[in-house]
């Protein structure tokens, strides 16, 4: 019997609310295959494994050929957004049991249109908070010894009240975790079934409220994420080892919000790191594709059915933040700086109380979905407006899902009548409001960060990401837009372009003039040792290890910091001065001023950070062959489309376009998972990798 030749296949799977997107690459030939399969919300693992089977079938490969699987999941995010967190307990110091109630005084969005603002509900009710005696100071020195008897009483109280997950956050545990470790020993003895998260392991950084909530979020999502990840890992191992005598170990990585992946066996110990993993994978995939196309200043626009996620890429890397949140819960962990706006294809158009047209943030979702889905939807959406104007075809996924044009017209006409507008004017208005919603989100990640949006190219992807790109070029003055090949699967592709990545932080507050370089060097060495140990556990040898250092600095008296890179090399006074100078420049870019030349205003170091990176092999983008015949080769017909006016408009099948082809608007470029409406006055050019670059006519 002949044994089939072995292949090396890597798979990326991004689970969304409607579809599970799958990308596989043959590492030997560079062949790339993409597909979609319906998601299975009741048990996401079913859709995950169906995607593995489907993509292997398309490649003609076996489970034994798979060398690694990377996964982006929304399990943690959805668990938080749905609010069904179960009974969580909180253990903290005596006298600090109301830290969650006090929270912060800052008001989101400057009150918006509300007359008042009420703080969000506590993640833990007051009756499930226990206090422990003992106290550390901010330098980690013990002021009062740990009181084990009070810890035993607090743990027994939580156990008797049915608490299954416990978050522990004691004052200044970032400087000395000894008391938190003592609490864990009490929990192991008195409540061994409890899931426990310690702040010294989740976030070794000061600010008690944010550290407390981040630790509690980790405790809240740990049971579900652990069960989900371990379940998939077990079933995946069985599936890929079918017919073999013993189960084969295949590396299974889970996407983190910091732009890296982590093995399944490790991610169950830090589940909070998986929040926002889907948007992170999309931003990284766009950065990878754009970098190969020669674009290094990039905005990403990931359009889905419910929302649009935007981020900024500088020098080939998405920017990071530690000031993010998931729903109402601040999560002070490193995550790609993504801004989400309720402006997806399913966003509902309605009349505001003031009598004006509004779009979103409510969404029709996937079920019942827009009116044109014919599944019982009652509200007109952005997708319905595109359909009425002819800018998308009367079907989805290459004809697999037909759309009901009449239903969309009827619903939009009712909205138009309420507004005293014509049907066409109403449809255009819906798209205009949606475009401005997206533009405002893009300004948040550029203008509000001190960046000039006009210096950027934008990458659009996702099912609805490219539908408004021409209008966004106009509104924002963008250089142009890049639409990757197969944009609907870019997030899954992004999972194959990232490295294993772990972040370590230590608060070490010192004024710059009092800084002792040897102490900073020692702190960095400890953080780097932790990062190296984690990379060793992931199977990377020391020569493969990479480390990136950074620090959070501020002017003395400020409440928040600015993160700046710390160059490689020995930490001495010269390097410290260079970091302080970089802080002045970053502060000036962000806020428009600095105190570089004012010796009265002192610089203060706050947090030291080290990121450990284990490199994984990235797929290679293959250049396409140039085919004769020009863009007319890809023309598939005409359709009546309304841009500035209604006219018969050429329609092109994008996969048939070749490098060097140009299409001038008005036109529509269609493919299996997305559509590009090309307005009059715009040009689309295809590059050597098959990306479509859209610019205003006459621009470079």
pLDDT tens digit string along 383-396?
999 999 999 999 87
Please check whether residue 403 is in contact with residue 388, taking contact to mean a CB–CB distance below 8 angstroms. no
3-state secondary structure of 603: strand
Of 239, 201, 210, 221, give the one whose Cα is nearest residue 63: 239
The answer to whether the predicted template modeling score (pTM) of the entire model surpasses 0.95 is no
Residue written as token pair 């009150």: 111
DSSP letters, 345-371, are TTEEEEE-TTS-EEEEEEE-TTTT-SG
CB hemisphere CA count around 417 (13 angstroms):
6
Of the ranges 244-253, 306-315, 566-575, the best mean pLDDT one: 566-575
Interval 120-162: pLDDT, tens: 678 899 999 999 999 999 989 999 999 999 999 999 999 999 9
**What was the pLDDT predicted at 245?**
56
pLDDT digits (tens, 9 = 90+) for 332-364: 888 888 887 878 888 899 999 889 999 988 888
- DSSP label at 591? H
Alpha carbon distance 411, 259 (integer Å): 41
Provide the mean pLDDT of the chain: 90
Domains 84-219 and 278-338+455-494 share a fold: no
Nearest to residue 310, comparing CAs of 334, 274, 286, 275?
A: 286
- pLDDT for the residue 681: 96
Q: What is the pLDDT, as a whole number, of residue 389?
A: 97
3-state DSSP of 500-544: EEEEEEEEEEEEHHHCCHHHHHHHHHHHHHHHHHHHHHCCCCHHH
Determine the Cα–Cα distance for residues 150 and 683; give it in Å rounded to an integer.
Answer: 71
When pLDDT is cut at 50, 70 and 90, the band that residue 106 belongs to is low
- The pLDDT value recorded for residue 175 is 93
pLDDT beyond 90 at 696: yes
**Class of CATH domain 84-219:** alpha beta
Percent of the chain with pLDDT over 70: 94
CATH architecture, domain 278-338+455-494 = 2-Layer Sandwich (3.30)
Note the pLDDT of residue 252.
Answer: 92
- What the block records as the tokens of 56 is 């292997």
Q: Is the peptide bond before 599 cis (omega within 30 degrees of 0)?
A: no
pLDDT, mean of residues 45-52: 91
The one-character DSSP state at 397 is G
Query: 564-597 burial string, b = 16+ CB within 10 Å, else e?
Result: bebeeeebeeebbeebbebbbebbeeeeeebeee
Within 10 Å of residue 558's Cβ, how many Cβ atoms? Answer: 13
Residue showing tokens 């179960």: 86
Q: Which CATH fold topology does 500-614 show? A: Dna Ligase; domain 1 (3.30.1490)
| Extents of the domains making up the chain | 9-79+224-274, 84-219, 278-338+455-494, 500-614, 631-696
- Asked whether residue 115 carries a pLDDT value surpassing 80, the answer given is no
The Cβ of residue 673 has, within 10 Å, a number of other Cβ atoms equal to 20
> CB under 8 Å to 441, separation ≥6 — which residues?
308, 310, 339, 340, 341, 343
Question: Interhelix angle for 423-444 vs 469-476, to 10°?
Answer: 60
Q: What number is the average pLDDT over the span 62-68?
A: 90
Helix (H, G, I), strand (E, B) or coil at 628: coil
Class of domain 9-79+224-274: alpha beta
Q: What is the pLDDT of residue 1?
A: 35
- pLDDT at 83 exceeding the cut of 70: no
DSSP readout, 452-467?
-GGG-EEEEESSSTTT
Confirm if 213 and 184 have CB atoms less than 8 A apart.
Answer: no
Residue 327 has pLDDT above 90, yes or no: no
d(CA 700, CA 698): 7
The Cα 27–Cα 4 span in angstroms is: 17
Higher pLDDT, 181 or 115: 181
Kindly tell me if the per-residue pLDDT of 657 is higher than 90: yes
Q: What is the pLDDT of residue 316?
A: 86
Q: CA torsion sign, 442 to 446 to 447 to 451?
A: negative
Report the percent of the chain where pLDDT is more than 90.
Answer: 63
pLDDT of amino acid 2 = 36
The residue that leads in pLDDT, 36 or 561, is 561
Is residue 500 predicted with pLDDT exceeding 60? Answer: yes
What confidence tens digit (pLDDT) does each residue in 239-292 have? 887 766 566 778 899 999 888 998 888 888 888 888 877 788 999 999 999 999
- Name, in order, each residue with C-beta under 8 angstroms of 535's C-beta and a sequence gap of 6 or more: 500, 502, 544, 545, 612, 613, 614
Q: What is the pLDDT of residue 111?
A: 45
**Which candidate, 700, 699, 622, 632, places its Cα nearest to that of 667?**
632
Task: Give the integer Cα–Cα distance in Å for 272 and 536.
Answer: 22
Residue 583 CA to residue 564 CA, distance in Å, equals 6
pLDDT digits (tens, 9 = 90+) for 505-543: 999 999 999 999 999 999 999 999 999 999 999 989 999
């Amino acid at each position: 019997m002949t044994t089939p030749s072995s292949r090396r296949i890597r798979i990326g799977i991004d689970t969304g609310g409607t579809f599970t997107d799958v990308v596989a690459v043959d590492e030997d030939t560079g062949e790339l295959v993409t597909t979609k399969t319906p998601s299975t919300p009741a048990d996401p693992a079913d859709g995950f494994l169906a995607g593995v089977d489907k993509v292997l079938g398309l490649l003609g490969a076996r489970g034994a050929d798979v060398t690694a699987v990377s996964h982006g999941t929304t399990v943690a995010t959805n668990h938080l957004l749905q609010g069904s967190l179960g009974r969580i307990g909180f253990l903290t110091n005596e006298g600090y049991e109301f830290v969650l109630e006090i929270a912060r005084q800052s008001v989101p969005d400057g009150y918006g249109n509300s007359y008042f603002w009420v703080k969000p509900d506590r993640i833990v009710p007051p009756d499930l908070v226990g206090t422990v005696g003992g106290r550390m100071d901010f330098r980690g020195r013990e002021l009062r010894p740990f009181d084990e008897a009070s810890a035993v009483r607090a743990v027994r109280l939580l156990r008797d009240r049915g608490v299954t997950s416990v978050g522990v956050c004691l004052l200044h545990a970032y400087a000395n975790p000894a008391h938190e470790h003592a609490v864990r020993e009490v929990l192991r003895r008195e409540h061994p079934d409890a899931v426990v998260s310690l702040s010294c392991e989740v976030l070794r950084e000061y600010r008690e409220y944010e550290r407390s909530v981040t630790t509690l979020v980790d405790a809240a999502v740990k049971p579900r994420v652990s069960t989900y990840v371990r379940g998939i890992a077990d079933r995946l191992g069985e599936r890929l080892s079918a017919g073999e005598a013993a189960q084969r170990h295949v590396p299974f990585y889970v996407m983190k919000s910091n732009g890296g992946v982590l093995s399944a066996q490790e991610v169950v110990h830090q589940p909070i790191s998986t929040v926002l993993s889907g948007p992170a994978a999309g931003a990284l995939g766009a950065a990878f594709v754009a970098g190969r196309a020669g674009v290094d200043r990039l905005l990403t626009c990931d359009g889905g059915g419910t929302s649009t996620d935007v981020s900024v890429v500088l020098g080939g890397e998405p920017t990071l933040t530690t000031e993010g949140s998931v729903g109402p819960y601040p999560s002070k962990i490193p995550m790609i700086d993504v801004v989400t706006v309720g402006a997806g294809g399913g966003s509902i158009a309605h009349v505001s109380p003031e009598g004006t047209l509004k779009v979103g943030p409510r969404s029709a979702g996937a079920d019942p979905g827009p009116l044109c889905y014919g599944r019982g939807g009652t509200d007109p959406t952005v997708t319905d407006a595109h359909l009425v104007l002819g800018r998308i075809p009367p079907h989805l996924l290459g004809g697999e899902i037909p759309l009901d044009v009449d239903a969309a017209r009827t619903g939009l006409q009712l909205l138009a009548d309420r507004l005293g507008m014509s049907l066409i004017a109403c449809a255009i208005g819906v798209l205009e409001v949606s475009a401005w919603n997206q533009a405002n989100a893009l300004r948040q990640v550029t203008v509000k960060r001190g960046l000039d949006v006009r210096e950027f190219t934008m990458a659009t992807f996702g099912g609805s990401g490219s539908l408004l790109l021409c209008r966004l070029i106009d509104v924002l003055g963008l250089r142009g837009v890049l639409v990757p090949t197969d944009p609907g699967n870019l997030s899954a592709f992004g999972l194959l372009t990232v490295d294993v990545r772990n972040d370590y932080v230590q608060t070490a507050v010192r004024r710059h003039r009092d800084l002792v370089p040897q102490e900073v060097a020692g702190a960095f060495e400890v953080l780097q040792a932790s990062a190296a140990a984690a990379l060793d556990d992931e199977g990377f040898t020391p020569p493969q290890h990479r480390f990136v250092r950074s620090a959070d600095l501020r002017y003395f008296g400020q409440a928040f910091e600015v993160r700046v890179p710390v160059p490689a090399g020995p930490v001495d006074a010269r390097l410290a001065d260079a970091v302080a100078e970089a802080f002045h420049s970053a502060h000036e870019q962000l806020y428009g001023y600095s105190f570089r030349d004012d010796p009265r205003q002192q610089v203060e170091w706050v947090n030291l950070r080290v990121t450990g990176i284990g490199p994984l092999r990235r797929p290679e983008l293959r250049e396409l062959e140039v085919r004769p015949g020009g863009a007319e080769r890809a023309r598939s017909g005409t359709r009546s489309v309304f841009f500035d006016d209604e006219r018969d408009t050429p329609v092109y099948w994008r996969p048939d376009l070749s490098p060097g082809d140009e299409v001038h608007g008005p036109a529509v470029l269609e493919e299996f998972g997305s559509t590009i409406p090309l307005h009059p006055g715009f040009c689309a050019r295809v590059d050597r990798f098959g990306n479509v670059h859209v610019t205003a006519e006459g621009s470079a």
